[in-house]
Amino acid sequence: MAPRTARASTPALELCGLSKTFTLGAGLFKRGRTLGAVSDVSLRIPRGQVMGLVGESGCGKSTLAKMLLGLTTPSDGDVLVDGKPLRGANQKALARHIQPIFQDPYSSLNPRKRIAQIVGLPLQVHGIGTSRERAARVAETLDVVGLPRRAADQFPGQLSGGQRQRVAIARALIMRPDIVICDEPTSALDVSVQAQILNLLLDLKAEFGLTYLFISHDLAVVEHLVDRVAVMYLGRIVEEGTREQIFGSPRHPYTRALLDSALTPEPGLGVPDIGLGDAMPDPSDPPSGCAFHPRCPKAQALCRQTRPRLEDIQGDNARVACHFA
Ligand SMILES: Nc1ncnc2c1ncn2[C@@H]1O[C@H](COP(=O)(O)OP(=O)(O)OP(=O)(O)O)[C@@H](O)[C@H]1O
């Protein structure tokens, strides 16, 4: 793994043609079908920036996150952290660079452990510091995420949803990572608490120079804190650009549909109906050509035949995969 003093121009996190294929229904005498959960994803996240990753349920966001966290092995492609490949890196080195914050603080915290044990566990697992040093770092980190000192002795069940997500954030920060993968970190929270957690994430980013990949189906949440946005459909990135480009002048019909659905007034109700009629196609049997064509209001014959490449939009520092964008 890279030293923490990598050059400022090197992206903190780079995904190069990352793919994950699952085999379904294989047996002794049966070959099984393949499902491309993530296909040929390439992204660069500069140090200190927030990349939003958006798309409907089942488009591959969590599978992508698991590959970045070393929880799933890519079928193809590479992940570079500070310019160095993650492949072959040991878990200890990885944990010092990349940490996750997951959606559900209710199920991701062990209900039988005290908060101090939960937050300090990564230090213990990786043999960092004496027990006194670990306790001091836990106390300091609880402060940083805005939890009272007394929370250290409490159990998750004694805390509110927002406080539990602060615990999950403290557990991620205790290793002082450079990159945090936030997988729907506010989806399980009340709307009023969501804003507090998002503001906390922004403050922590500034304080520790963190780089975030922020995964969400909720575009309103993403708009609040990202620098760039990548839009994913059926395992592929279909559009990527700055926050202003994606929210101000989206080019891909799917991005437009997602933005339209974000305007429907039912925040916090889970994945929106994006108003495109047919549900997302079966990823183990994707449509020919552009995978979005059966739902696309602008589809033409070419879209059924040829898959558009994700190409640079001239002079715009953005990319789109659509024949007619
Ligand atoms: N272990 C697995 N084996 C087989 N298929 C899988 C596996 N994990 C995920 N998939 C499939 O890969 C596709 C992408 O799933 P993934 O969970 O990454 O999507 P997602 O965008 O994170 O969805 P959600 O927001 O609902 O979590 C889905 O079709 C899913 O059923």
The structural domain count of the chain equals: 1
Residues 6+ apart with CB under 8 A from 294: 278, 281, 287
Residue 269 lies in a domain: yes
Residue 172 lies in a domain: no
Q: 186: pLDDT confidence band, cut at 50, 70 and 90?
A: confident
Contact 4, 84 (CB under 8 A): no
Nearest by Cα to 253 from 286, 223, 216, 298? 298
Average pLDDT over residues 213-225: 89
Q: What φ, ψ does residue 57 adopt, rounded to 5°? A: -55, 135
Average pLDDT over residues 239-260: 94
Residue 161 lies in a domain: no
pLDDT, tens digit (0-9, with 9 covering 90-100), for 37-56: 999 999 999 999 999 999 98
Residue 170 lies in a domain: no
Average pLDDT over residues 207-228: 92
- Type of residue at 151: A
Residue 126 lies in a domain: no
Q: What is the CATH number of the domain that holds 314?
A: 3.40.50.300
- Type of residue at 211: T
User: Is the pLDDT at 270 greater than 50, yes or no?
Assistant: no
Atom number of ligand 1 nearest to Cα 184: 25
Q: 217: pLDDT confidence band, cut at 50, 70 and 90?
A: confident
pLDDT of residue 9: 79
Residues lining ligand 1, CB < 6 A? 22, 24, 35, 37, 55, 57-63, 283
User: Is the pLDDT at 305 greater than 80, yes or no?
Assistant: yes
Atom number of ligand 1 nearest to Cα 271: 25
C-alpha distance across the termini of the chain, in Å = 39
ipTM value > 0.95: yes
- Please tell me the distance from the alpha carbon of residue 319 to that of residue 113, in angstroms, as a whole number: 46
User: Is the pLDDT at 278 greater than 70, yes or no?
Assistant: no
Distance 40 CA to ligand 1 centre (A): 16
Lowest-confidence segment of 30-34, 135-139, 153-157, 168-172 by average pLDDT: 30-34
Residue 5 lies in a domain: no
Residue 189 lies in a domain: yes
User: Is the pLDDT at 265 greater than 60, yes or no?
Assistant: no
Collapsing DSSP to helix, strand or coil, 53 comes out as strand
Residue 7 lies in a domain: no
Residue numbers of the domain that contains 97: 13-24+33-107+177-275+295-320
> Where would I find the H helices in 34-186?
61-68, 91-97, 115-125, 131-144, 161-173
pLDDT of residue 250: 95
Report strand pairing: 13-24 vs 76-81. Answer: antiparallel
Q: What φ, ψ does residue 157 adopt, rounded to 5°? A: -65, -15
- Nearest protein CA to atom 10 of ligand 1, as residue: 37
